[in-house]
Structure 1
Amino acid sequence: MTLLCGLLVLAALACGSLAAAELLDKDPALLALPVLVGSVIWLCLGGMAGLLLPAAWLWLAAMAGLTVFAALGAGLPALMRRAQSPAFGLFVAGSLAFWLLFAVRQPLFTQWDEFTLWGSACKMVCEQDVLFPAARGYLAGRGSLPGMMLLSYLFQFAAPGFAEWAVFAAYDTLYMAVAALAASLAGRGWRSAVLAFAAVVSLPFFFSVYQPGAVSQVYQSAMGDLALAFVFGGAVCLYLAAGDSPAGLAGCGLVLVFLTLIKDIGLAYALVAVLVMALARAFGQKPVRLRRVFTTAGQALVAAVLIAGAFVLWSVYVMQASGVDKNAVGGEGESVGYATVLLGGLAQLLGIGRTEKFSAILALMLKAPFTLPVCLLGPGVVAMAAALVAQGAAAFCAAPGAARRRVLWISAGLWIGLAAFWVFHLFLYVYNFADIEAYQLKDYARYLGSVHIGMTLASLGLLALACREEKGRAALARLGVCGAAAALVAVCLWRGPRTGFWNYPSSLYDARQEIKARAATVNDYLDWDDEVLLICQGDDVSRWYYYGYELHATIANGFGGTSFGDARDNRWPTTGMTLLPYFSDANEFETVCSRDGLVAFLQEAEYDYILVDWTDEYFCEEFSSLFDAPIPLGTTHDPLLFKIEDGGARMTLVAGGDEA
């Protein structure tokens, strides 16, 4: 049923794009992305009004009505002729391939961040038909932005239940829309379109840091980093195709609002895209007129305010729905506002009040583009060289005059954006990361790799657009696109992953399937408002995340410090729950505890249940007396669910254990 629902929505998107293309006399491949992201924005507005499901059904009816209107006006044969666009055909075929493959393979979430936010939020929205800040259950990031979760919902709202594999298929439909948009820049010939499409689809594989023996997360991740890169590049490509026409600018506006709704840093991506478009519009024609410069600056400012308005509107909704202030970042127990991060970071960058931490991380960030890998061929300088080559080829193939000036100014805007993102991530490492993570430049490839993907995608769009120039230059541009596609595919085959979304090993999901089954044995006894403390000795937090995703309750924070029962000495909550005796060697996820300390912690925390998943000798010896049922060593067929009573001094068995 989920597959049928997904294909129904895909058909509605395709028909809506065709109808809009007929009404605007455009290639439908240009409209697939604006129609898709506009649909998500509509769902966001409906969800904030408390009408998410009605908004989805109204959207489906609107797509059908728009298609009928266009067919009656232009005739069905005209729509069919427009559907013969090579790039549009690639969008439909690529999206269909992902839906069918994932429906057969049915992959599951595996990354920690998918359980703390991305995947869990998708699940909440689909199962409860509300935006996730207002949903019931555990979620670490209630203040996060809703774009990708609503994209998943769009393809599953009519299906019963929730399917994780459909989340991947929905995301990849978005990526295929961007790839088709880039392919449409190359003209209406199949050869150029296929080459450009292949180059864009290969980009995420090229910009991956593959470890031998590991599985690739490319095209099978519920997180938003790849979406940021694709939508940013897609916004630039849409501007290249549509130019400064009112319809084109409106479409770009929809894409940029959606870009803002993907992730907090999406606002920065959207503002950089506005800068790129403004530079091209103000200085892309000769002579440069002061009036046009000021007019463009004013229009860019209005666009930036509208985009920021979408960000602020969501922040207001989050505060009203969940009481969470999303406009702050922080690490090690402290949080600061975005204004403090930017102003404080700029001051330190200029040498005003510079701290030792800032100086150390600045030195690391200056080395990072030359030392830390972000792609299959090595560090960031390789990625920058690839983008520079594509931009240089596009400038060479573009016709002298306005076309070439436009390429150069767009390229300049992309490089300014890259520098801005580098500075912004420097600030994030200083203010948002714990010291141990900041000094390692944790997830550098993930964050900066997305920036490089977006920049390179936009550069390939510039080169693809040159395929429409006069005959000699078009031939050179097609040769450049062919070379880019061949190089990317060759590098991916040579250095890339052998295990990707097409053939994940089934053993990867063994732990997920086990915990799904174990959680099902106790879910009937739980309510979403119940707080459940998980006991899983020796866990690296993986099982804690998995249970938080599967339980129909709120997973509680663990005991992250020591106490001796009569004072609040060193008691602090943390993720995970592994109890260790005092003086044990503790790592990042392990804590030290005593029987009285646990009771004192539970009295303060006021949790509802304890779920015993896995024990060790220490736990059995130290804590068994608290429970009214035998605590086995290791694990049982089912987990043991205990009700916390008498302020944590007594635990009453509710469900679970081996079958009699």
Structure 2
Amino acid sequence: MLQLAWGLCLTALLGWDSAVLAAKFRRPAAVFPLPLLCAAALLVYAGALPGFLRAGVWGGVGALGALAVWGALRLGRESVRQLTESSGLMLFLGGAALLWVVLFCLQPMFFQWDEFTAWGLAPKMVVQNGCLYPAQPGNLKASFTYPATSMVTVLFQPFARWSEWGCMAALDTLAMACLAAAAALPNKRRMAGIAVFAAGFVLPYFFADTPAGSYAAQYANAMADLPLFLLFGGSLCLYYALGGQGRAYWLTVLPLMLLTLTKDICFAYGLMAVFLIGLDLWWAGDAPARKRFLPAVAKALPLAVAVVAAFVSWGRYTAAVTPLQETAASVGSEGLSYGAVLLGGVRQLLGIGREEKFAVLMSLMFRAFFTRRVCLLGGGAAAVGCITLAAAAAGCGAETGAARRRVVTAYLGLAFCFAALYLFHLILYYYNFGESEALALKGYDRYLTPYYQAWMLVMLALLGQGAGSRRGAGALCAVSLAVLGIFAGRGVPAAGFWSDASSRYTLRQDVQTKAAALNPALQPDDRVLVISQGDDATRWYYYRYELTGTVADGFSGRYTEVGDTSQREKGDFMNLVSPDNEYLYAGDCTVCTPETLMAYMQETGCDYLLLDRSDGYLQQAFSPYFAGGLQDSMPATLYRFAGCDAAVPFTVAAQESGVAG
């Protein structure tokens, strides 16, 4: 209940502060939740870099509170009027509050693998330990995730009490702030703002291919895809709502910096956003373009500097607190630099020494644009067709020539950036993926749909800005009704954040119960090797997320003689099989003996072995080395490793029933 109360209070504080700033600067109140939330998250980040994350959290909350008190004393009556008359701000408050209450009542849990390896694990570590995860015992590799989602989460969970549903609700609050920026219209256009917000809310479902009957996790996950889409689109919508003029223009820098810290690809997204803003400043004004070029560069350049500064700050931090080999900027198994990858990719595109694999990937990417479903109407071509129709409607509904030029500039600029992004992913498939994954275009829809979503959100926002005329209002009505109608007719998921998904959590809850019984025997810097016979890596990832200690990587391949590691391969989870049964060996199995397993434990500095599930092979070959022996079916047991030369190398430290003496 404390978590819910804090989330609702902080959301209300953001709403009131937005009304205060609207009264002060005479701008639509709905533009302010996004920069305010981003500013608070960036204050947390600034405090976390030197090791004062908790101070950053309370500094951010304190700044929001101080602004609220000042506004109540100086601009109270006008702030109340701004709060009640802004449809975009009320939608932000209502949408965020609804999501907080629904998620609190249902308390969904993580279930996607990447949430346990990065996007859910990182904010959990930050909330519980009060510092950025690369500097913690048992940390993630620094290159695995970026800190923006963790900073937003810890702002809404400042009491070191972790909840997965609270993490989801915090990111959804950020999403509502971005949608409010898209719906930030003058008070006399309330209905237009409502239409933009409603259509924007369903875009994550519209640009998706959720199988019938499955659970749609768009607003109930910790992945960075939703923040990426909304921060990219929301930054541009914020700029358009502010008009690119006055002191309020510089508020755009805040979501751009947080966007850059959201995901590794977001440095490119941040620079694309700056490029699009600069393009608008250059081409969309009333003065001749040649006279606007240098002023446009002068206004866009500081935004680019802020994006670069945010990106460099994270790279410098991770390099300072983690080993160099874990943070080096490289791509693929050959460890090429990003510059070498881009240069090599351009050469391949130009046909200079083009290899067959690249030619095949070019053909696959071309066909995927038409055949791989990325929206309710079909592939990328259909998605771009929908966006083009929305842009045409926005152009027809524009009230002035400058507004029409803005729509054309935004559409063509986003189209150019999409083409560059598409080619960039072609190059990544060539350099950064194994052949089987590359030829399958692994993750194709996940990599590209955030851009489609942001592109459409920007067109919706520009449609709303042109809704002052009857023609513009009609165009917005037609497009928003089309989006909502297609969603209602073809895309409403069978289940989502509004429904109970407890059937998905059976395995999670089993591992969670076992880990809770074993954790009292562990410290964060204890290294634990997890063995769960018959696992497909799912239970291993769950333990990695749930255990207090550091879960060590296992290995695959063959390791049957101590010292001979020639056939041992890097891995994570382990399924142990006997070297006497060669036919049992497969790519996801580990052929080893008790002696080589203990040698590996000693080599990697493992303090404990967690035996989650045993089987006949372990019972037969490994029992003499474990206190009390092993059985086919036994409780999850944590063994302390005493060394290869001990009379009994593995002694019981804890079992499901409790910690051993």
**1:560 match: secondary structure:** strand
In structure 2, give the amino acid aligned to 1:488: V
Partner in structure 2 of residue 531 of structure 1: 527
| Aligned counterparts of 1:366 and 1:187: Cα–Cα separation in 2 | 45
Deviation at 1:277, TM superposition (A): 1.2
Which of 568, 572, 575 does residue 572 from structure 2 map onto?
Answer: 575
1:41-190 aligned at under 5 Å gives the runs: 41-74=42-75, 76-84=76-84, 85-141=86-142, 144-157=145-158, 159-185=159-185, 188-190=188-190
C-alpha distance in 2, partners of 1:406/1:413? 10
Partner SS for 2:100: helix
Does the 8 Å contact 2:257/2:310 carry over to 1? yes
CA distance in 2, matches of 1:101, 1:258: 27
Deviations 1:4-50 (A, max 9, x none): 12122212212222222222121221111111111111111011121
What CA distance in whole angstroms lies between the structure 2 residues aligned with 1:238 and 1:290?
26
SS at match of 1:611: strand
For the residue of structure 1 that corresponds to 2:567, the secondary structure is: coil
Deviates more, 1:647-656 or 1:424-433: 647-656
- In the alignment, is the contact (CA less than 8 A) between 1:562 and 1:570 conserved in 2? yes
Q: For residues 60 and 138 of structure 1, what CA distance do their matches in structure 2 show?
A: 27
Say whether 1:551 aligns with 2:547.
yes
- Worse-matched range after superposition: 8-17 or 186-195: 186-195
- Report the alpha carbon displacement of residue 228 of structure 1 after superposing the two structures with TM: 0.9
Deviation at 1:116, TM superposition (A): 0.5
Q: Distance in 2 between matches of 1:378 and 1:592?
A: 45
* 2:483 alignment partner in structure 1: 488
1:40 aligns with 2:41: yes
2:310 aligned partner:
310
CA pair 449-515 structure 1, distance change in 2 beyond 3 A: same
CA-to-partner distance for each residue in 1:313-357, whole Å, 9 max, x for gaps? 1110111122355452434x4433222222222222222233332
Q: How far off its partner does 1:169 sit? A: 0.5
Query: Against the structure 1 CA distance between its residues 271 and 142, is the aligned structure 2 distance closer, same or farther, given a 3 Å change threshold?
Result: closer
After TM superposition, give the deviation of residue 564 of structure 1 in Å.
Answer: 2.3
Give the % identical residues: 37
Alpha-carbon distance in structure 2 between the residues aligned to 1:165 and 1:319: 32
User: 1:641 and 1:225 mapped to 2: Cα distance?
Assistant: 36
- Structure 2, unmatched stretches of 5+, are none
Q: Choose 289-298 or 197-206, whichever is displaced more.
A: 289-298
Cα contact 2:40–2:61 (8 A) shared by 1: no
Is the contact between residue 560 and residue 591 of structure 2 (CA under 8 Å) also seen in structure 1? Answer: no
Conserved in 2, the CA contact under 8 Å of 1:138 and 1:549? Answer: no
Q: Distance in 2 between matches of 1:250 and 1:534?
A: 50
Q: For 2:295 and 2:472, locate their aligned partners in 1 and report how far apart those are by CA, in whole Å.
A: 33
Distance 1:546 1:620 in 2: 24
Summarize deviations over 1:213-236 as a string: whole Å, max 9, x none: 321111111011111111111111
Give the match for residue 392 of structure 1: 392
Q: 1:416 to 1:588 in 2, by over 3 A?
A: farther
1:199, CA displacement in angstroms?
Answer: 0.3
Correspondence for 1:600 = 599
d(CA) in 1 for partners of 2:19, 2:185: 17
Cα drift, residue 97 of structure 1: 0.2
Instruction: Give the drift of 1:286.
Output: 4.8
Q: What do the CA deviations read for 1:477-536 (whole angstroms, capped 9, x no partner)?
A: 222222233222222233321111110321111111111110011111111111111110
1:541 alignment partner AA: A
The corresponding residue for 2:612 is: 613
Structure-2 separation of matches of 1:487 and 1:462: 17
Distance 1:354 1:447 in 2: 25
Deviation per CA, 1:352-396, whole angstroms, max 9, x where unpaired? Answer: 233332222222111111111111221111110111001011111
Letter in 2 for 1:206: F
Partner amino acid, structure 2, of 1:499: A
Aligned equivalents of 1:341, 1:477: Cα separation in 2: 45
* RMSD of equivalent CA atoms: 2.0
C-alpha contact 1:186 1:192 (8 A) present in aligned 2 = no
Please report the TM-score for the alignment, with normalisation by the length of structure 2.
0.94
In 2, Cα distance between the equivalents of 1:327 and 1:302?
Answer: 27
What corresponds to 1:471 in structure 2? none
- Report the Cα offset of residue 187 of structure 1: 5.1
In structure 1, distance between residues paired with 2:270 and 2:172: 21
Give TM-score, length-normalised by structure 1: 0.94
8 A contact 1:34–1:255 mirrored in 2: yes
Q: Secondary structure at the match of 2:628?
A: coil
Alpha-carbon separation, structure 2, partners of 1:236 and 1:161: 35
Query: C-alpha deviations, 1:420-468, integer Å up to 9, x for none?
Result: 1101111221222222211111111111111111111111111111113
Instruction: Check if 1:372 corresponds to 2:372.
Output: yes
User: What is the one-letter code of the residue matched to 2:517?
Assistant: T
Counterpart Cα distance in 2 of 1:489 and 1:585: 53
**CA distance in structure 2 between the aligned counterparts of 1:656 and 1:271, rounded to whole angstroms:** 52
CA deviation string 1:147-190 (max 9, x = no partner): 11110011111x35111100110111111111122122375433
SS of equivalent residue, structure 2 residue 221:
coil
C-alpha spacing 1:95/1:266, structure 2 compared with 1 (3 Å): same
CA contact (8 A) 1:12 1:60 kept: no
Structure 1 counterpart of 2:473, from 478, 488, 499: 478
TM superposition shift of 1:287: 5.3
Q: Partner of 1:184: helix, strand, or coil?
A: coil
Q: Does 1:511 align with 2:482?
A: no
Q: Does 1:498 align with 2:494?
A: yes
Q: How many Å separate the matches in 2 of 1:136 and 1:286?
A: 57
Structure 1 residues 349 and 326 mapped into 2: Cα distance closer, same or farther (>3 Å)?
A: farther
Question: Contact 1:115–1:549 at 8 Å: present in 2 too?
Answer: yes
| Partner residue in 2 for 1:651 | 650
- CA distance in structure 1 between the aligned counterparts of 2:142 and 2:632, rounded to whole angstroms: 35
How has the CA–CA distance of structure 1 residues 343 and 281 changed in structure 2, closer, same or farther, with 3 Å as cutoff?
A: same
After superposing on structure 2, the runs of 4+ consecutive aligned residues of structure 1 that deviate more than 4 Å are 140-143, 585-588, 657-660
Aligned partners of 2:341 and 2:236: how far apart in 1?
28
